[in-house]
Homo-oligomer: A and B are copies of this chain.
Amino acid sequence: MNTVDIPRLREIVGGKNIKTDPLDLYVYGSDASVYHAAPWVIVRPDNTGQVQKVLAYANDAKIPVVPRGGGSGMCGQTVSSKGGILLDMKNMNRILEINLPDVYCRVEPGVVDDDLNAALKPYGVFYPPTPASSRIATIGGEIGNNASGVRSVKYGATRDAVLGMKVVLANGDLVTLGSHTRVEASGYQLEKLIVGSEGTLGVVVEATMSFVPIPEFRCLGVANFDSLRDAGNAIADIMASGTIPSMLELVDDVAIKAVNKTMNLGLKEVAASLLFESDGKVKEAVDYEVKKMEEICKKNNGADLWYSFDAKEREQIFMGRKKLFPALSQFDASMASTSLADDMAVPYSKMADMAAKIHEAAEKNGIIMTAYGHCGSGCMHTKIMMDTSKKEQWEGAQRAIAEIYEYVNSVQGTTSAEHGIGISKAKAFKTEKHDSLKMMAAIKAALDPNNILNPGKLQQAPDNWVTATNLRYAVNS
């Protein structure tokens, strides 16, 4: 099965850019998901020409190619479930252009999100789709997953920021998609189709992305709730009020306790807290929006209301949210924090029910689950806390997930708001998109007839790929 021609690849990218050491292959067999499957070889192209040649070779030889950015994907998108070449894009990490008059930057796919923002900061602008993993996530990976984050409620997701890109297709052809303009109505906007395609349609080798000015004022507010439902209702009321927060985050009691335990922040352990932020160039407008959100929280029984324009005070409060994911991972040594059903989205009016459903499904199935998320964009995160070595907990988690997705589907929600589908959400995705799977398969076959680009993901992912051998955690029977 492993028929890859290493000398040929070495010729293309040079010896230093090829890894075949079993330890490297093992490490690159994982991302931030629960899965593991080692690639046959790791290839790190230095430039577009090399990507073209690697793909042309792989296409001829019908060898799978999995493009990988920072490896922070939570759903197994970059796990080499069919083996083949792991195309590590980290060497292509140059910021090619920061064009202030035309309000865009051009970057290679391996640029880390935080590095891009550090480069933009001196010019008073920022790249807003930024996920929580921005310290390691690359722009290429973010494009693959249509990444978004805390500020996407106001500033949009990755797809909204993409103006154009250069992509290497399965056969090695290089194509330029989109333009350097803000609005386009020139036929199929394929640069937008590539976003969220998880490396299955082409390998992004350059992207032109818009940015926005750093607002002069930010104001962060907090409200505590004795009931998760009240917090959910406050979210819906805020979004229906026409207010456009720059951030609207929910954290539930499980999340608050985890943060307190690992960071000793002394947060009040209520049923739920909302963090709401407004930003802008005019203080009066920012003030107006925050007060409006505060008022809506009050009406929904929000308490301990607090807000501040001060950067230090804001940072202190926001740190708890920012460190939530690592906090959950360290919450209990006997339990792993797993990403299995982690970023559903539902319409705003269903946020309260969604949160209730998560807690109900967790309790019913003997596991612990958190409900938190970027609720202003309809996204509800959850993490499952369980002892993965216990079969009954693993199976309980699977049942809980099925119940949660059944609810999501029943309210025209979606399987993933921002992390993508990969392997972990394939079953729910296929249920949700059942009548357009054929369309997706037709497009995939048209653009990648030999099925070399990240095969076995999205509509191709088997419902139950997980066995003892490709799970990072042992599940005992």
Contacts and interface: CB of A to CB of B under 8 A. Distances in A.
A185 B157 contact: yes
Interface in A448-467: 458-459
Interface string A411-439: 11111111111000100010011011011
A186 interface: yes
A186 B415 contact: yes
A315 interface: no
Given A184-B414, A345-B181, A193 B192 contact: yes
A419 B185 contact: yes
A181 B242 contact: no
A266 interface: no
Contact of A284 (B148, B174, B195, B285): B285
A366 interface: no
Nearest to A374: B183
A373 to B, nearest CB: 10
Given A103-B240, A196-B189, A379 B183 contact: yes
Contacts of A99: 347, 349
A277 interface: no
A360 interface: no
A212 B2 CA distance: 54
Interface string A19-48: 000000000000000000000000000000
Nearest to A102: B347
A306 interface: no
A239 B440 contact: no
Given A345-B181, A412-B164, A413-B181, A125 B435 contact: no
B180 A185 contact: no
A95 B169 CA distance: 41
Chain A contact patch, size range: 35 or more
A100 interface: yes
A125 B240 CA distance: 10
**Protomer copies:** 2
A198 B192 contact: no
A173 interface: yes
Contacts of A174: 435
Contact of A445 (B186, B374, B446, B458): B446
A338 interface: no
A409 to B, nearest CB: 9
Contacts of A169: 439
Contacts of A384: none
A410 B443 CA distance: 31
Interface string A155-192: 00101100010000100011111111111111111101
A101 interface: yes
30 contacts: A101-B240, A102-B348, A102-B349, A103-B239, A145-B185, A146-B189, A147-B185, A152-B183, A153-B182, A164-B412, A173-B438, A176-B435, A178-B414, A179-B432, A180-B412, A181-B347, A181-B379, A181-B417, A183-B345, A185-B416, A186-B196, A186-B429, A187-B421, A187-B459, A188-B196, A189-B192, A189-B195, A280-B285, A282-B285, A284-B285
Given A173-B435, A186-B420, 9 more contacts: A102-B348, A153-B182, A175-B435, A180-B411, A185-B343, A187-B429, A188-B458, A189-B195, A282-B288
